[in-house]
Structure 1
Amino acid sequence: MKRIGIIGVGEIGRAVVTGLCREGDHAPEVFLSPRGARAAAELSERYESVQTCADNQEVADRSEVVIIAVRRADRHDALAGLRVDGDKVIVNVMAGVGNDDLRRTLATDVPLVRAIPLPTAREQRSVTVTWPSHPAVDSLFEQLGGVLPAMDEAAFNVHSALTGTLTTHYAYLATLTQWAVRHGISSDDADRYVRSLFQGVGRTLSDQTRSFQQLAADHETPNGNNERIRTSWFDSANSESFNKALDDLLGHLDVPGNERPQAT
């Protein structure tokens, strides 16, 4: 795929462009919409293969694959009047917007693929969930760290709900840092130590021979510090509350017509 268009140049759009342009001379041509003008201008200046277009229609006209990455609430205004025809493919990365919804908005018959690229696409380390599988789209995301085709749209939405936990993790780390500061540690030292601690945890995830439960067990000693915090804070009540929050999010993401049994 040699010509990629991106409508909506936010965090994910920037990550995809950066990851694609790591290919150097083999990078595809990338056409950016004027939405997110500052980011689009910055990327166009940084990479020779990236251009900012006059409007969304120019993006669609010049691209083989069109990635739509605008906010869910903005989609009708952003895509009003857009025509995407011919042998193009649309990649829908808008959380909670099903392909049927997007097809009605665009009134097009071209293939539509939902995808969940992650910010780590900029380092080509994003495992991107897609549905339905499409060879051109899967090939594109293989370059950015790998592709994980979902078996159906309901499964796709489960993966989408999992991504909704990312900022909670950052907030958890911020809470740890703030707690240390309240106990007399300098802000810089607390920040440095928490980052180091969890960067190490992140590296252990590359060992796929150990389950998450095994990793937890390997980092605990009976009646030790880790076990004490895990059992006193992440108890059954908190676990149930967390599962309910995920179920509620999934219900928000499920497109009309999908029927999902309630978790028991």
Structure 2
Amino acid sequence: MRLGFIGTGTITQAVVTGMLRFGVPFERLSLTPRNAQTAAELATRDGRIHVCSSNQEVLQRSDIVCLAVVPQIASEVLSDLEFDGRHHVISFMAGVPLERLRGLVRTGGKIARAVPLPAVAEGKGSTAICPADEVARAIFAPLGEAVEVDSEDKFDALSAVTATMASFYAVLDTHASWLVQQGLDYADARAFLSGYCVGLAHDTTRTDQPFSAMVKHSMTPGGINEQVHAELSRRGAYACYSEALDGVLRRIRRRA
């Protein structure tokens, strides 16, 4: 596998880190000179990693090309590059559908989209892939959970739920602030909540039962979990998530 990355930001850094950590096989890995400090640091980790002098050199040295630039500059970055039929393109660019992507790279080679998240560096990330793609699966399955879907509508929906990261941390911050009000130091509150969330997340990987079943299993009739869940349900807190995600999905599809 001769792999190249156009764009060397946070996601590229996470993917390359995960590949090295979990032994994803590759012959050579070529990086764009953009974000030179990150690229140079990655190159020190393995002799097979090389920082190229240009984006075109990345293409010349690679058979599999990952596009990791922000979509706002996709046309500017890709317009001067010459792809050919041997290039297997995997795009990380949010909101750039396959049809538009095909026009940007101007090649008849294989194209797929993927949404890797930073946790792939730790082997705990979820990566959506569209359409099913054996090369993308070979890269991302060892780095966590690789979920392949057969339509861009489904892919867009998976992309939309990644907009809940900030709200997830905001809920934890609300809990931490409440604990501080009860007299705890913030550091202790944060440490407790971090471990608590890791435990809950780990439980989801130990079973394939529906989340609704896990909700029910975690509640004792008349218990404190049932109390909080009932109050949040009564106030429509969970429905707010669906409404917010509907808005994100509309935005993604307008951009496409």
TM over 0.5: yes
What's the offset of the Cα at 1:28?
A: 3.8
Q: Residues 3 and 26 of structure 2 are in contact (CA less than 8 Å); yes or no, is this contact kept in structure 1?
A: no
- Residue 82 (structure 2) aligns with: 83
Aligned-residue offset at 1:209? 4.3
Alignment CA distance shift 1:256-1:161 (3 Å)? closer
Aligned to 2:141: 142
Contact (CA 8 Å) 1:21, 1:28: kept in 2 or not? no
**CA shift digits 1:83-109 (9 cap, x unpaired):** 111311110111111121122223332
Shift in alpha-carbon separation, 1:163–1:256, aligned structure 2, 3 A: closer
Q: What's the secondary structure of 2:125's corresponding residue?
A: coil
TM-score between the two structures when normalised by the length of structure 1: 0.87
* Contact in 1 for aligned 2:3/2:62 (Cα 8 Å): yes
Distance 2:24 2:159 in 1: 33
CA–CA distance in structure 2, aligned partners of residues 222 and 119 of structure 1: 38
Percent identity between the two aligned chains: 31
Query: Structure 2 CA distance, aligned partners of 1:235 and 1:74?
Result: 44
| Mapped partners of 1:192, 1:138: distance in 2 | 34
Deviation at 1:25, TM superposition (A): 9.6
> 2:61 — aligned with what?
62
Structure 1: which 5+ residue stretches go unaligned? Answer: 258-264
**Is the contact made by 2:126 and 2:146 (CA closer than 8 Å) also made in structure 1?**
yes
What is aligned with 1:155?
Answer: 154
Equivalent-residue separation in structure 2 for 1:173 and 1:197 (angstroms) = 10
Residues 20, 28 of structure 1: 8 Å contact kept: no
- Counterpart for residue 189 of structure 2: 190
In 2 relative to 1, CA 178–48 (structure 1 residues): closer, same or farther, beyond 3 Å? farther
Q: Deviations over 1:112-158 (max 9, x none)?
A: 10112222322334342211223333323233335322121111111
- Cα distance, 1:27 vs structure 2: 4.3
Partner of 2:211: 212
| Cα distance in 2 for residues equivalent to 1:25 and 1:216 | 36
Which runs of no fewer than 5 residues in structure 2 stay unpaired?
none
Q: Distance in 1 between matches of 2:64 and 2:98?
A: 15
Distance 1:89 1:26 in 2: 16
Cα-to-partner distance string for 1:196-251 (whole Å, 9 max, x where unaligned): 11111111112224321222222222232222222223446333322111111112
Q: What is the aligned partner in structure 2 of residue 169 from structure 1?
A: 168
- Distance in 2 between residues matched to 1:26 and 1:103, nearest whole Å: 27
Distance in 1, matches of 2:26 and 2:20, equals 5
**How far 1:256 moved relative to its partner?**
7.5
Taking a change above 3 Å as real, the CA distance of residues 144 and 28 of structure 1, as seen in their structure-2 partners, is farther
CA contact (8 A) 2:24 2:139 kept: no
Residue 115 of structure 1 corresponds to which residue in structure 2?
A: 114
In the alignment, what sits opposite 1:180?
179
- TM-superposed CA distance for 1:180, in Å, is 1.6
In 2 relative to 1, CA 25–179 (structure 1 residues): closer, same or farther, beyond 3 Å?
closer
Does the aligned pair in 2 maintain the 1:31–1:51 contact within 8 Å?
A: yes
Q: Distance in 2 between matches of 1:78 and 1:174?
A: 38
Alignment of 1:1-150 (within 5 A): 2-23=1-22, 26-150=25-149
| Partner Cα separation in structure 2 for residue 233 and residue 189 of structure 1 | 26
Which letter maps to 1:54?
Answer: S
Provide the C-alpha distance between the structure 2 equivalents of 1:182 and 1:75, rounded to a whole number of angstroms.
47
In the aligned structure 1, how far is the partner of 2:150 from the partner of 2:118? 23
The letter for the 1-side match of 2:131 is: P
CA contact under 8 A between 1:127 and 1:146: conserved in structure 2?
yes
Distance 2:79 2:51 in 1: 19
- TM-score normalised over the length of structure 2: 0.90
Between the aligned partners of 1:3 and 1:236, the Cα distance in structure 2 is: 53
What displacement does 1:65 show?
0.6
Give the aligned residue type for 1:22: R
Shift of the 25–227 alpha-carbon distance from structure 1 to 2, 3 Å rule, reads closer
Aligned residues: 256
Report if aligned partners of 1:97, 1:255 keep a CA contact under 8 Å in 2. no
